[in-house]
Structure 1
Amino acid sequence: MKFNEKTLTLARESRGYTQKQLSEKSGVAQGTISKIELGQLSAPEYLIELFGKALNYPVDFFTQEPYFYVRGHYRSKQSVSDKASKMYLAKMTIVERIFTTLQTAVELPEPNVPSWDIDVDGGSPAMAALFVRDKWKIPKGRINNLTELVEDNGILVMLLDLGEKDGFSTYSDIKYPVIFLNNRRTSDRLRFTLAHELGHLVLHWGRKDHGRDEEQEAHEFASELLMPSQDIQPYLNKLNSSTLTDLKRYWKTSMASIARKAKDLGTITQDQYYYMMKGFSANGYRTFGEPELFEPEKPTILSDIVELYVNDLNYTKQELASLLHLSLDDLDELLFNKAKLFQISRN
């Protein structure tokens, strides 16, 4: 058995454990764990079995080729601890590897991610969003199903429990664009985060940091992609709490983002915007999320691939788990919607 020490770190961090916690869970000295993870000490089979039992991973998980943690951009509601950040990155890395393994049996949509470099092409994030709408032949007005549109253009969308993170964008080992979304967010926030992460792929991926506020640029991109100024402005002239609700239902964006759009376009004053935000805070919308007025969109690429393995290739769950080096518990969580990781929970 050829042990890969990097997979021990990955497995440990995916469970949110420190080395000390794994030591307590497995009965293996923390110093031994540290030396094994650093490659200074080889792990005999009995230790690998102890780690597998403590972390609920099959022994063959620890014999895979080296993993490279996903890297990219993410959107977060607030700062995230280093321990939590490592856990989410480890989870995303494992799910990305699942996709890379399973996709060998299918023909994926060709990635079609338009590129807009502000340093070269000039303009603004809003102009980049309109450029994408043109390249993807999106009709004027709202986008009915952004998730379907994004996946049709060869970008994998995955739902995971990302804690305080809203979303994350990256490229897989096979150079396939991937966007992770937090399944604990409301339907409007999921759509906006998806547009935001698409903005990172279009505007920032593979480019040097030139000191601009990339999060703000992705935000501006998302706003214009979902609510083109020219299309939405006529709807914003008489904005109030009643019309905000109707507009949210139609445009499938949050009332807060619509109010911000109105302020940016000058159809409401700064004071009006301030009082709207104050009202949202009083109602708990800015803390717990706005009322759900439309169903969350569901990505289908990964679920369709799993369906093919089960129905067409006749894989059992045990065979899938073995192929992916996962426990049956993790397989259910990640691929069969039977636990928290892939469930949409409404705030």
Structure 2
Amino acid sequence: MFNNSRLKVARQRAGLTMRELASRVGIEPRTVTGYEAGEYLPSDDVVRKFEQVLGFPQEFFIAEDLDIPRAEGVSFRSMSKMTARQRDRAIAAGAVAFLLSDWLESEFDLPEADLPDMREELPQTAAAGLRDYWRLGNKPIKNMVHLLELKGVRVFSLGEDGKEIDAYSLWRDARPYVFLNTQKSAERSRFDAAHELGHLVLHKHAAPNGLEAEKQANEFAAAFLMPEAPLRAVGRVSGLPKVVQLKQEWSVSVAAMAYRLHELGLLTKWNYQQIFVEISRRGWRTEEPSPIRREQSQIWQKVLSEVRRDERLGLARLSELLYLPGTELARLLFGLATVGVPSASQTVPTTPPRGHLRLVN
């Protein structure tokens, strides 16, 4: 039976409106509306055209219902910058990620979510409290993505064109998810990861929308990545070279470090303004001095390594099992799935034993 919800997800992942899809398939827009509403079923010929236009195999459209994120339960970094088309495309990515996540949990033993509910705490207090809870001390965090995965968060990339969608997060039952846009600098992506972590612990039982929620998540991220005590131990800062040194030590953007120092009273208002003028003049609002390496998922690095070694299950076979085009795997898995994809002509696997992935931070 044709699954109307899957048509909507595939259309949104392709970034098309119903009218645009109708034009490319050669049918009336009202017909597409009827298909997506489940009012009637497309012919086999139309389904083949959907495959050609949207890039999803025909089997995708006749599989079981998808679990699709609810828009009101999703925390977007910047609602004002994105269009409805971009928002829908990003949310549809969540539905595809759920398919991957469910397969992952069926094959591997992974950490359970270990994120406390901190909705009663102030953002900076929550950041310090979570560092204590996870026994991180006041040292720089080596890798935010690895840390989130170690604590049971499923982290996926958003391989979207453009930077309007910074990142988003949500809870799916007891499992937290974070989606990061890889079009931004590695330093800003780390801040996005900490920002979404703030939403997950501060706004678990509420719709995390609005300027106040975003402000709280920003405050949490700054305090979590740049804890107060070690920065106060540095003392007053006056020049850009010291800000750059600290930004390198804590793996954040030079702008974020300048703002944090000013927030803590370690950088005067005048120095802060002069430093920001210089940051802009040097083009460091978009390109960082001494940039760090982009963080990637260690879970999917390990899983894809196992998949490639397993003669019964190659990446192409995984794509077939989930009825997903390879481009969708690449977009969600930090581009890791584009490397060394084996031939699809492999033996259909029997169910392999569950594996255990050792995660480190």
Moved more, 305-314 or 218-227: 305-314
1:218 is the counterpart of 2:217:
yes
**Does the CA-based 8 Å contact 2:74-2:207 persist in structure 1?**
no
Q: Which residue of 1 aligns with 2:347?
A: none
Aligned-residue offset at 1:78:
5.5
**Does the CA-based 8 Å contact 1:14-1:87 persist in structure 2?**
yes
Aligned-residue offset at 1:332:
4.9
Structure 2 CA distance for partners of 1:280 and 1:308, relative to 1, 3 Å: same
Q: Which residue of 2 aligns with 1:337?
A: 336
| Structural mapping, 1:214-293, within 5 Å | 214-286=213-285, 288-293=286-291
Q: Which residue of 2 aligns with 1:19?
A: 18
SS in 2 for 1:245: helix
Q: Which residue of 1 aligns with 2:150?
A: 152
Once residues 282 and 178 of structure 1 are traced to their aligned partners in structure 2, the CA distance between those partners, rounded to angstroms, is: 37
Q: Which residue of 1 aligns with 2:83?
A: 81
**Does the CA-based 8 Å contact 2:180-2:193 persist in structure 1?**
yes
Once residues 301 and 60 of structure 1 are traced to their aligned partners in structure 2, the CA distance between those partners, rounded to angstroms, is: 27
Deviations 1:127-162 (CA, angstroms, capped at 9, x unpaired): 000110011000223222222222111112222224
Once residues 300 and 289 of structure 2 are traced to their aligned partners in structure 1, the CA distance between those partners, rounded to angstroms, is: 28
Matching residue's letter, 1:166: D
Structure 2 CA distance for partners of 1:236 and 1:167, relative to 1, 3 Å: farther
Structure 2 CA distance for partners of 1:188 and 1:317, relative to 1, 3 Å: closer
**Does the CA-based 8 Å contact 2:157-2:180 persist in structure 1?**
yes
| Structural mapping, 1:157-172, within 5 Å | 157-162=155-160, 163=162, 164-172=164-172
* Identity %, equivalent residues: 28
Matching residue's letter, 1:320: L
Identify unmatched segments of 5+ residues in structure 1: 341-347
Q: Which residue of 2 aligns with 1:177?
A: 176
Q: Which residue of 2 aligns with 1:97?
A: 99
Matching residue's letter, 1:167: A
Structure 2 CA distance for partners of 1:97 and 1:236, relative to 1, 3 Å: farther
Aligned-residue offset at 1:73:
0.8
Once residues 147 and 185 of structure 1 are traced to their aligned partners in structure 2, the CA distance between those partners, rounded to angstroms, is: 15
Deviations 1:77-120 (CA, angstroms, capped at 9, x unpaired): 951011111112112321232222232110011110121122xx
Once residues 45 and 65 of structure 2 are traced to their aligned partners in structure 1, the CA distance between those partners, rounded to angstroms, is: 21
**Does the CA-based 8 Å contact 1:200-1:218 persist in structure 2?**
yes
Q: Which residue of 1 aligns with 2:141?
A: 143
Aligned-residue offset at 1:9:
0.9
**Does the CA-based 8 Å contact 1:196-1:219 persist in structure 2?**
yes
**Does the CA-based 8 Å contact 1:226-1:251 persist in structure 2?**
yes
TM-score by length of 2: 0.85
Once residues 210 and 32 of structure 2 are traced to their aligned partners in structure 1, the CA distance between those partners, rounded to angstroms, is: 39
**Does the CA-based 8 Å contact 1:68-1:93 persist in structure 2?**
yes
**Does the CA-based 8 Å contact 1:187-1:295 persist in structure 2?**
yes
**Does the CA-based 8 Å contact 2:77-2:168 persist in structure 1?**
yes
**Does the CA-based 8 Å contact 1:333-1:339 persist in structure 2?**
no
Once residues 197 and 35 of structure 1 are traced to their aligned partners in structure 2, the CA distance between those partners, rounded to angstroms, is: 36
SS in 2 for 1:76: coil
Q: Which residue of 2 aligns with 1:343?
A: none
Once residues 2 and 116 of structure 2 are traced to their aligned partners in structure 1, the CA distance between those partners, rounded to angstroms, is: 41
Structure 2 CA distance for partners of 1:291 and 1:300, relative to 1, 3 Å: same
Q: Which residue of 1 aligns with 2:309?
A: 311
**Does the CA-based 8 Å contact 2:238-2:271 persist in structure 1?**
no
Q: Which residue of 2 aligns with 1:321?
A: 319
Identify unmatched segments of 5+ residues in structure 2: 340-361
TM-score by length of 1: 0.88
The root-mean-square deviation of aligned C-alpha atoms, in Å, is: 2.3
**Does the CA-based 8 Å contact 1:236-1:262 persist in structure 2?**
no
Structure 2 CA distance for partners of 1:301 and 1:317, relative to 1, 3 Å: closer
Structure 2 CA distance for partners of 1:82 and 1:39, relative to 1, 3 Å: same
Structure 2 CA distance for partners of 1:233 and 1:333, relative to 1, 3 Å: same
Once residues 224 and 196 of structure 2 are traced to their aligned partners in structure 1, the CA distance between those partners, rounded to angstroms, is: 12
Matching residue's letter, 1:95: A
Once residues 244 and 211 of structure 1 are traced to their aligned partners in structure 2, the CA distance between those partners, rounded to angstroms, is: 31
Deviations 1:239-273 (CA, angstroms, capped at 9, x unpaired): 31111111111111111111111111112222222
Moved more, 153-162 or 178-187: 153-162
SS in 2 for 1:294: coil
Once residues 238 and 332 of structure 1 are traced to their aligned partners in structure 2, the CA distance between those partners, rounded to angstroms, is: 43
Once residues 214 and 282 of structure 1 are traced to their aligned partners in structure 2, the CA distance between those partners, rounded to angstroms, is: 31
SS in 2 for 1:285: coil
Once residues 260 and 109 of structure 1 are traced to their aligned partners in structure 2, the CA distance between those partners, rounded to angstroms, is: 35
Aligned-residue offset at 1:185:
1.2
Q: Which residue of 2 aligns with 1:344?
A: none
Moved more, 83-92 or 187-196: 83-92
Once residues 236 and 4 of structure 2 are traced to their aligned partners in structure 1, the CA distance between those partners, rounded to angstroms, is: 61
